[in-house]
Amino acid sequence: MKEYQKLEFDKKRFRIKHCPCGKSNKDGKFIPYKGLDNCGYCHSCGKTFLPELQKNDNMKFEAQPKQVSCISPDLVEKSLKASNNFLIFLNSLFGTDATESLKERYKIGSSKHWNGATVFGRLTISGK
């Protein structure tokens, strides 16, 4: 179980001569935390000076492998048949033949997310 240090302001503001930012504390604008003279809040500059966190180097995290999910090739082929805004734009720039070539090469499909939505299919090395 972890133990946390509770930070409470010290009511004796004038015991500290200078704020960590270098300004004088004659007017009591720096409020230190109890037991921590260089940590607190400075009302002059508006900065909060917090204590250094202790780093635990023994903690190691192992990344959980993510399961790869693939979309069925039938669904990819269905998405390639419909038209979308991006394909219309490509058609206006390059013509029908070039657009069809790009559509097949980069698997540019359509989605029902909104009218004219575009989907870019990503293929693995094995072609899935």
Please report which residue ranges of the chain form alpha helices under DSSP H.
73-81, 85-94, 96-105
Q: How many domains does the chain have?
A: 2
Residue 72: its pLDDT value, please?
Answer: 82
- Write down the residue that tokens 């960590």 correspond to: 20
Residue 88: its pLDDT value, please?
Answer: 93
Residue 75: its pLDDT value, please?
Answer: 83
DSSP state of 14: G
Cα–Cα–Cα angle for 9, 12, 17, nearest 5°? 105
Q: Is residue 1 part of a domain?
A: no
Residue 57: its pLDDT value, please?
Answer: 64
Q: Is residue 125 part of a domain?
A: no
Q: Is residue 34 part of a domain?
A: yes
- The low-confidence residues of the chain, meaning pLDDT below 50, are 1
Q: Is residue 54 part of a domain?
A: no
Residue 99: its pLDDT value, please?
Answer: 92
Residue 1: its pLDDT value, please?
Answer: 46
Q: Is residue 67 part of a domain?
A: no
Q: Is residue 92 part of a domain?
A: yes
Residue 38: its pLDDT value, please?
Answer: 83
Number of helices (H) and strands (E) in the chain: give both, helices first.
3, 5
* Domain boundaries, position 42: 13-49
Q: Is residue 126 part of a domain?
A: no
Residues 39 and 78 in one domain: no
